[in-house]
Amino acid sequence: MKSYFIDIDNLRRLDEDKLRRYRDKKFRKIIRYAFSVPMYRELYSRAGIEIEDIKGLDDITKLPVISKEDVKKYFPDGLIPEDKNKENLVTVSTSGTTGKSLSIYVDMFDIIMGLFGYLRTVGEYGLNWRKHRLSIIGDFAPHTAETGYVKKSLFSNAWFQSYLKNLQWLDTNEKPEKVIEEMDSFKPDFIGGYTGMLGHLAVLKEAGLGKNINPRVIASTGAVLDPFLKKFISENFNAPVFEVYGTTETGPIAFQCKEFGKYHIMSDLLHVEFIENNQIVASKEPGHVLVTKLYGGGTPIIRYNAINDVVSPLYEKHNCGLSGDLIEKIYGRDSIFLYRKDGKKVLAMSITGIFSKLLYELKTSKFQDIKVIQHDVDKFEIQAVIDEKLRSVPPSADEIFSVLIKGFKDYFGRDIEVETREVKKVSRKEPRIITKVDLNNIKFNGYV
């Protein structure tokens, strides 16, 4: 906690030079820790790396990249020091959006700093988590990061429960009607949650529910927020909306600047590299991210590429008073994509605007689940699970499908074929968006 109160204002307190020295010190410490972890010790030994070779972040490219396969190979015992007691750690797993989840270990310091990194964003938007009421909507399904961080750790500690009494934890897997009812009784000053759930809550708010919900600010996470849905959420809650970018393995990575709209990387907590074809990309050009956590006592995260996100950096600084690195644009997960006929790769986050129209145009939550299968560059299939309680409530399923078909034709070409059908359920063992296009027949032409 002492570290938090000192470090929470690092991006404002430290200028670029002091921040660089601070980061180098943290990096050297995490490297020393990594050499006590079997996976890193063996991989670094194989690469001929000694602790003395790494004097700061300028030396980071000497280190090998850590992949998902490495983590799986060394799990469980090879991801923490041999003398580390697992009883003092929490196992958290990725969401498995590609059909395969990944597990790592975190300790209480990881959890606290990840949470306070998120609360830092609240402070940047004028709120104080110790004085204002915060509703945070997490994914509390079994084995998720939020379940590990909150239910297995913070909830099990009476001191933390009392210290964080102004925080309300809600589950994004619950019905939106239940979430808004619980939130209405809490009367939050801040709402943070997954993009889809925020959209559903905005529909209910417009319909007259949640009369006591009047937040000062809202944070969206988990997907790129298209401008129309962002406006819809903002107007219905009468509050500004900003985006937070993070992952299970790293915690919060960046948040949207209040003044400029670009993303501030939490550079005192992480180091992010932007790489394409083994080269650092130019400013505003898309690249795959490698992330290094500069804190923690669980599984170290150093030059980690399994996040598989495509992001464009912004190397030009702006004058808002925060130090650290910047992100221009977040394209999304590179392992979940579709292709256009022009060779452009369409990442899942890039087409969220097609589906968000169901919320801000049709004002409906009738489709409980959706899956998209691309059979060829010009042939798509959309599967939808319908909420039977809403089947007789307008708009009809055909009307909803029509909006989706139009969205896909606008995005992928007027001459594409789109088949739609109702299903009882969609598989959770594979991504909601799948392409079966033969990639050997595609000439990659960049990202949309």
Q: Does residue 163 surpass a pLDDT of 70?
A: no
Annotate 199-229 with b (16+ C-beta within 10 A) or e (fewer). bbbbbbbbeebbeebebbbbbbbbbbbbeeb
Joined together, the tokens standing for residue 406 give 């139009």
- Say what the pLDDT of residue 335 is: 83
User: Averaged over 385-390, what is the pLDDT?
Assistant: 94
- Say what the pLDDT of residue 161 is: 64
- Say what the pLDDT of residue 165 is: 83
- Say what the pLDDT of residue 116 is: 84
Q: What percent of the chain shows pLDDT beyond 90? A: 75
How far is Cα 215 from Cα 202, in angstroms, rounded to an integer?
12
| Residues 225 and 170 sit within 8 Å (Cβ to Cβ) | no
Output 273 or 429, whichever has higher pLDDT.
Answer: 273
Beta carbons within 8 Å of 370's beta carbon, 6+ residues apart: 355, 382, 383, 384, 385, 426, 432
In order, the DSSP letters of 39-62 are: HHHHHHHHTT--GGG--SGGGGGG
How far is Cα 223 from Cα 429, in angstroms, rounded to an integer?
20
256-271 confidence digits (pLDDT tens): 999 999 999 999 999 9
Q: 């084995």: which residue's tokens?
A: 143
- Say what the pLDDT of residue 1 is: 54
Output 286 or 446, whichever has higher pLDDT.
Answer: 286
How far is Cα 324 from Cα 267, in angstroms, rounded to an integer?
5
Q: Does residue 3 surpass a pLDDT of 80?
A: no
Q: Kindly state the DSSP code that residue 440 receives in the 8-state scheme.
A: G
Instruction: Tell me if the bond preceding 76 is cis, omega within 30° of 0.
Output: yes
Q: Residue 104 to residues 155, 201, 218, 221, 278: CA-CA distances in angstroms?
A: 20, 32, 30, 21, 26
Q: 């972040």: which residue's tokens?
A: 57
202-252 confidence digits (pLDDT tens): 999 999 999 999 999 999 998 888 899 999 999 999 999 999 999 988 999
Q: Does residue 200 surpass a pLDDT of 60?
A: yes
How far is Cα 17 from Cα 162, in angstroms, rounded to an integer?
38
| Residues 336 and 346 sit within 8 Å (Cβ to Cβ) | no
Q: 């708010």: which residue's tokens?
A: 205
The residue type at 138: G
Nearest to 287 by CA among 248, 327, 342: 327
The residue type at 292: T
Nearest to 361 by CA among 353, 372, 350, 349: 353
- CB atoms near residue 26 (< 10 Å): 19
Of 13-22, 43-52, 162-171, 230-239, minimum mean pLDDT range: 162-171
- Say what the pLDDT of residue 348 is: 80
Of 118-132, 148-162, 163-177, minimum mean pLDDT range: 148-162
How far is Cα 232 from Cα 353, in angstroms, rounded to an integer?
12
Annotate 320-350 with b (16+ C-beta within 10 A) or e (fewer). eebbbbbbbbbbbbbbbbbbbeeebbbbbbb
| Residues 307 and 287 sit within 8 Å (Cβ to Cβ) | no
- Say what the pLDDT of residue 340 is: 94
Average pLDDT, the chain: 91
How far is Cα 438 from Cα 448, in angstroms, rounded to an integer?
19
Pick the CATH number of 2-333 from 3.60.15.10, 3.30.470.20, 3.40.50.12780, 3.40.50.300: 3.40.50.12780
- Say what the pLDDT of residue 162 is: 64
- Say what the pLDDT of residue 317 is: 86
How far is Cα 291 from Cα 60, in angstroms, rounded to an integer?
11
Sign of the torsion formed by the C-alpha atoms of 123, 129, 134 and 136: positive
Joined together, the tokens standing for residue 3 give 């570290």
How far is Cα 133 from Cα 195, in angstroms, rounded to an integer?
20
> Taking the domains of the chain in order of start, what are their residue ranges?
2-333, 337-441
296-345 confidence digits (pLDDT tens): 999 999 999 999 999 999 999 888 999 999 999 999 888 889 999 999 99
Query: Residue 137: is it exposed, middle or buried by C-beta count within 10 angstroms (0-12/13-18/19+)?
Result: buried
The top-level CATH class assigned to 337-441 is alpha beta
pLDDT band at 177 (very low <50, low <70, confident <90, very high): very high
Tell me the three state secondary structure of residue 163.
helix
Q: Does residue 395 surpass a pLDDT of 80?
A: yes
- Say what the pLDDT of residue 422 is: 97
69-77 own/partner pairs: CB under 8 Å, 24+ apart: 70/39, 70/43, 71/39, 71/102, 71/104, 71/299, 71/306, 72/102, 73/39, 74/38, 74/39, 75/103, 75/104, 76/103, 76/105, 77/38
- Say what the pLDDT of residue 99 is: 52
Nearest to 245 by CA among 330, 144, 168, 185: 330
| Residues 164 and 154 sit within 8 Å (Cβ to Cβ) | yes
Q: Does residue 6 surpass a pLDDT of 70?
A: no
Q: What percent of the chain shows pLDDT beyond 70? A: 92
Query: Residue 135: is it exposed, middle or buried by C-beta count within 10 angstroms (0-12/13-18/19+)?
Result: buried
Q: Does residue 132 surpass a pLDDT of 80?
A: yes
Of 137-151, 185-199, 366-380, 402-416, minimum mean pLDDT range: 137-151
- Say what the pLDDT of residue 149 is: 61
Of 121-135, 316-330, 340-354, minimum mean pLDDT range: 340-354
Nearest to 253 by CA among 325, 308, 197: 325
